[in-house]
Structure 1
């Protein structure tokens, strides 16, 4: 795992010193794995609001946990998660266990809010290595257990391809070849649907989607000290493919065509190809059942496979007084049966290989594309300044893509803004 250095200036609510002091870093969070009866005990879990399927699955998990342990579980749902949970930590009212997004893990860890977990107690060997690594510190402490994961893959609207008279087999395997192929595909789409009604592909101006491109050939968009390095020539060269795609007039953002996100743009029949996470799979099946689609691997770029990986883990608050019960919850939620119930109820991907097999996700050709991407996808995580740098990136990338600035100028401006914000905080 790539380690990180502590950098002041996360763009978040509280300073490290405040959180460390609030956590009370000397609490004993060791726990026994032998205790099974927790009758009369209570546990608070911190989560953000999910969709209907997630809410139902979490409530069912709580019920089964209460039946198995005799404990009661209080669910604390945050509407502004990162801000509110940090305020609770400062006030010593943080939940006993709580969601830890992989991209936020470095901040929570470095500010002393997470208790160390014994890998042996949580069957860490059953999890995909890259996910366990994402929640392990540079000195080898496991501090959260991944409850699920998501990766990006390509979705193809087969009806649009058929109407345009183009076979999916004609789609290039490399992103570089897309630049040459897209104009002719868009021309055939225009012939079938009229100009400006349907587009060949969508893209996003979020570094969370583009980070795997930025880092090709070992380029470093973020320095080891946490400062922005987007204007580095290697990073600019990697990201310039986005400008080339936009210049084909065949690649648009969902907002360009009056929709809120990829799933809506694709589901409304306005996009032939999108790269999206597996969370869109059930949305398409339930909300847009008339849209036929298949899922394929992301195109290679600069000779290598690539995608993005996102994960959320369960972490234990270092100040909890319910350490043993907290461990039991994490074991329950991330154990084989608990995770299988979760992924089957929510449509998320498991972070354990044995659950992928048990839930028969490997037998679903579409979802298995997402699953297999774990081996080469780039985790959305890099130190404590990632969010600050992403905001600057999103502010200036449009200027590079619309021609108002060169790519170099736009990334230099993004670096300047991000590093000023990092220094100020």
Structure 2
């Protein structure tokens, strides 16, 4: 599911601009009792997905049109953040649109989302961690349509050929530091040196954020400024240096591949942490690679993972408030969320839909689903993307030893805060 992976790294590209006036006030008021939408048109703002996503969304739209009598027009954005913000400023935003949970603070701060009546959307059926991520001051502004979490993927063929039992895999990151060199040595004997590596890692903060916040670490201050060089955050993230120093851990780019799924699918990686979006990709594009899924390692004695979600929000300036509510209700009800999950490989954000889709009967996907209880949402204010870019620029210096971790993160803070101040 490369499209989702790509979007996770986009974040909020523009600085905060005032859209409150440009929006033209709140959505039209109504009692929500309208049922006949014949002749009405609803516009939906989405980004382009893969073939399975397009097919699943089009089917839900077709069923919705048949049920309510309205016409639905999709507005597909190629540069989502930039284009949808421009439409909001120009009062041409779609009636309902995708809200990435990492972007939600920006939308909330700029007042472009209409408040949703939680009683209309069966919110008690959803995983509370997700609905909390789309809530401000106790008010709901988007309904999560799906979610994804990180888990470990293990190439079982590599373990079989090296005669290493999967049960030997450490349960904590700290234990990996001592275990990885031994595993890599066995891999080299079977495959040859430099052909296959024990583990992969990613430079994005969206993968490492759950490590950075252990024991109260705060990568971003309350005022939005970067705090990567703080003692706690540096100490937390130093495990990445310990892991890369084993020479058994590489990035996908290090081995000539574009992303984790490709690196793992080509048989060059034994262990990777990845979202459930990769599950169907491995099944369809790399069917010769046998794998199993395990929960993420603990760190500093606690469980952790990352959680990503996208919700449906309603534009504050919509003239089709009732119809937009109807769409969000329809798209996120038990039946359609189940169909969406089965069709796209995402995880349902409703517990009853997860049961209906039989996610718990799939041992691999169940690992991802169970992570909702302890995973950290990829969300931290409106400067998250700016801090992440600086983090990615300077993390390599910390990992290759050209600078200390503290020095590298100090430079990352300086870059991020300069960019934040400039905006």
Judge conservation of contact 2:12–2:81 (CA < 8 Å) in 1.
no
Partner of 2:140: helix, strand, or coil? coil
- Aligned residue for 2:403? 405
- Aligned residue for 1:272? 270
Q: C-alpha separation between the residues in 1 aligned to 2:325 and 2:216?
A: 38
- Aligned residue for 1:131? 130
Asked if 1:196 corresponds to 2:194, the answer is: yes
CA displacement at 1:300 relative to structure 2: 0.3
- Aligned residue for 1:6? none
- Aligned residue for 1:7? none
Asked if 1:375 corresponds to 2:376, the answer is: no
CA displacement at 1:34 relative to structure 2: 3.2
Q: C-alpha separation between the residues in 2 aligned to 1:191 and 1:416?
A: 45
CA displacement at 1:280 relative to structure 2: 0.2
CA displacement at 1:28 relative to structure 2: 4.0
Judge conservation of contact 1:14–1:86 (CA < 8 Å) in 2.
no
- Aligned residue for 1:253? 251
- Aligned residue for 1:118? 117
Q: C-alpha separation between the residues in 2 aligned to 1:263 and 1:333?
A: 29
Unaligned 5+ runs, structure 1: 1-9
Aligned residue runs from structure 1 range 286-301, under 5 A: 286-301=284-299
CA displacement at 1:30 relative to structure 2: 3.9
- Aligned residue for 1:66? 65
Unaligned 5+ runs, structure 2: 1-10
TM-score (norm 1): 0.96
- Aligned residue for 1:230? 228
- Aligned residue for 2:24? 24
- Aligned residue for 1:318? 316
Q: C-alpha separation between the residues in 1 aligned to 2:413 and 2:223?
A: 14
Partner of 2:181: helix, strand, or coil? helix
CA displacement at 1:155 relative to structure 2: 0.3
- Aligned residue for 1:362? 360
CA displacement at 1:141 relative to structure 2: 1.1
Q: C-alpha separation between the residues in 1 aligned to 2:388 and 2:194?
A: 30
Count of matched residue pairs = 413
- Aligned residue for 1:95? 94
> Structure 1 stretches (4+) deviating beyond 6 angstroms?
none
Asked if 1:167 corresponds to 2:165, the answer is: yes
Q: C-alpha separation between the residues in 2 aligned to 1:113 and 1:11?
A: 15
- Aligned residue for 1:83? 82
Judge conservation of contact 2:252–2:258 (CA < 8 Å) in 1.
yes
- Aligned residue for 2:8? none
Q: Could you report, residue by residue, the CA deviation over 1:82-126 in whole angstroms, capped at 9, with x for unpaired residues?
A: 000001111111000000000000001110100000110011100
CA displacement at 1:344 relative to structure 2: 0.9
CA displacement at 1:332 relative to structure 2: 0.6
Q: C-alpha separation between the residues in 1 aligned to 2:404 and 2:14?
A: 34
Task: Provide closer, same or farther for how the CA distance between residues 218 and 15 of structure 1 changes in structure 2, counting only shifts above 3 A.
Answer: closer
Q: C-alpha separation between the residues in 2 aligned to 1:32 and 1:56?
A: 33
Judge conservation of contact 1:11–1:421 (CA < 8 Å) in 2.
no
CA displacement at 1:203 relative to structure 2: 0.4
Partner of 1:309: helix, strand, or coil? strand
CA displacement at 1:395 relative to structure 2: 0.3
CA displacement at 1:15 relative to structure 2: 4.1
Judge conservation of contact 2:307–2:375 (CA < 8 Å) in 1.
yes
- Aligned residue for 2:239? 241
Judge conservation of contact 1:11–1:422 (CA < 8 Å) in 2.
no
Asked if 1:212 corresponds to 2:210, the answer is: yes
Judge conservation of contact 1:31–1:327 (CA < 8 Å) in 2.
no
Q: C-alpha separation between the residues in 1 aligned to 2:313 and 2:44?
A: 10
Aligned residue runs from structure 1 range 384-403, under 5 A: 384-403=382-401
CA displacement at 1:374 relative to structure 2: 0.3
- Aligned residue for 2:337? 339
CA displacement at 1:24 relative to structure 2: 1.6
Partner of 2:91: helix, strand, or coil? coil
Task: Provide closer, same or farther for how the CA distance between residues 21 and 213 of structure 1 changes in structure 2, counting only shifts above 3 A.
Answer: same
Q: C-alpha separation between the residues in 2 aligned to 1:149 and 1:98?
A: 16
CA displacement at 1:16 relative to structure 2: 2.8
RMSD (Å) for aligned C-alpha atoms: 1.0
Partner of 1:22: helix, strand, or coil? coil
Asked if 1:221 corresponds to 2:219, the answer is: yes
CA displacement at 1:14 relative to structure 2: 5.9
